[in-house]
Amino acid sequence: MRKDVCATIVYDDTVTQVENAKTDAGGLWVKTGDLARTTGFELKAEGVCRNHLCFPIPAADAADVVRTESVDTWFNLTAFARLTDQPVAHDEARATWYFGLRSDERAGLASLAAPDFTLPDMHGRRHTLSALRGKKVLLVTWASW
């Protein structure tokens, strides 16, 4: 059974109030107009899209993600987060949901290994990071911008 809530949604570090949201079994449902306003995504025939990025909704999961009631189409943000491997934090007492980075946004953090590079030291001797593998290395970086 779904319960009406006034939800606070944090998505892409933007906070949005949704006056007419619904919850059920940990799921957060918003109208498709609120989906666009809170996340920038739109429900299209090809899936859930924002600019050139589109996530198709598997047929097996469609009923858990999209529902039509009367004249309104509802979208389950938490089910979408599960499909896109997006972490969600929920504070029930404050009706607040925080959506972290999706798996496609974390791709740059797939490895914490620094790329190999070669730089001269203060005496002009060249050192390659991969030559120091297995040793403790302290990298100090600086930029002027």
pLDDT (tens digit, 9 = 90+) per residue, 15-50? 999 999 999 887 999 999 999 999 999 999 999 999
Average pLDDT over residues 65-83: 93
How much is the mean pLDDT over the chain?
88
Confidence at residue 25, expressed as pLDDT on a 0 to 100 scale: 83
Provide the pLDDT confidence category of residue 116 given band limits of 50, 70 and 90. confident
DSSP E strands in 12-93: the ranges are 14-24, 27-31, 42-44, 47-50, 53-55, 66-69, 72-76, 88-91
Q: 141: burial class by Cβ within 10 Å (0-12, 13-18, 19+)?
A: exposed
Contact predicate 65/76, CB 8 Å: yes
Element (H, E) at 128: strand 126-128
- The pLDDT tens digits of the residues spanning 56-72 come to 999 999 999 999 988 99
The predicted model scores a pTM of 0.71
Confidence at residue 1, expressed as pLDDT on a 0 to 100 scale: 44
Confidence at residue 100, expressed as pLDDT on a 0 to 100 scale: 92
Give the whole-number percent of the chain exceeding pLDDT 70: 92
Domain positions in the chain: 3-107
Contact predicate 126/120, CB 8 Å: yes
143 vs 7: which has the higher pLDDT: 7
